[in-house]
Structure 1
Amino acid sequence: MKPRHKRFALIVGGLVILALVATLVLNAFQSNLVFFFSPTQVAAGEAPKGKSFRIGGMVKEGSLQRSADGVTLRFVVTDTDKEMTVAYKGILPDLFREGKGVVAQGKLGDDGVFVAGEVLAKHDENYMPPEAAKAVGDAHERAAANRAAADAAARTLKP
């Protein structure tokens, strides 16, 4: 083999190896990619079916229900616009409380209940995940716009 052919073979072999490594890295990245959705987005059908994602918001007051085994529980996550029931089997973080921010990772069940494999709670009094804070803010803006539209409609109906 001529030196020119050897060099060409090494370059082609290097490119094949580089392509294989890039494919493996992108595949690993894609399988570990988890998106965040608010309860409003899930209710609108924006969440993926059969794939893992995160849902966040506030734990609704009075919604925490523990089963007899003490490890299986259900609670409601809300962004003040829509609500979603979350089922979780495991030990909750120490900072998990009703009325506080939470992010849960899992899949949406066929019955519309979010089955969480992991629950994350906020870490201090002032923290809320940025995605959850944005979802709550968006829900407040939509509610204010709806109230303003209803008030305007009521004013036009009065004689």
Structure 2
Amino acid sequence: MDFTYLVTPVLTWLVVGPIKFLITSVRQRRLAFDLVGNGGFPSNHSAVVTSMATLIALREGINDPAFGVAVTLAFVIMIDANSLRQHVGRQAAAINRLTSAGPGMGSNIKPLRERMGHTLAEIGGGIGTGIAVAFAINYLSRQF
């Protein structure tokens, strides 16, 4: 079995995490451990699925059925990241406002995380990062 297909998404996730942390920390002008998660630049999910689709394209070709499955999965993940999770974030903001509206309301309720989805720029950053990581892994795996 070629473990490159297993290692690529994991390495992509490990590459994107620190990038996202650094960019978020620079924007916030502090170490932003609490802000890294579902949202921010670049999109982890978009990077992971794009890296896998790219690796399949590089190794098997774009005519391989696995490439079609990977691209379809990537589109589903990216559409979800852009639309559905942004709606969830808006609902969390509304719930947070409701639970903190009156005296005694929500005094022991932890606020919900409001930053959930990704903008198109964040998804684009994930796509670019995923493609770059897949090319790097493919190149390095062919060298050794």
TM-score (norm 1): 0.28
Structure number with higher helix proportion: 2
TM-score (norm 2): 0.30
Structure number with higher strand proportion: 1
Higher relative contact order (CA 8 A, sep 6+): 2
Higher Cα radius of gyration = 1
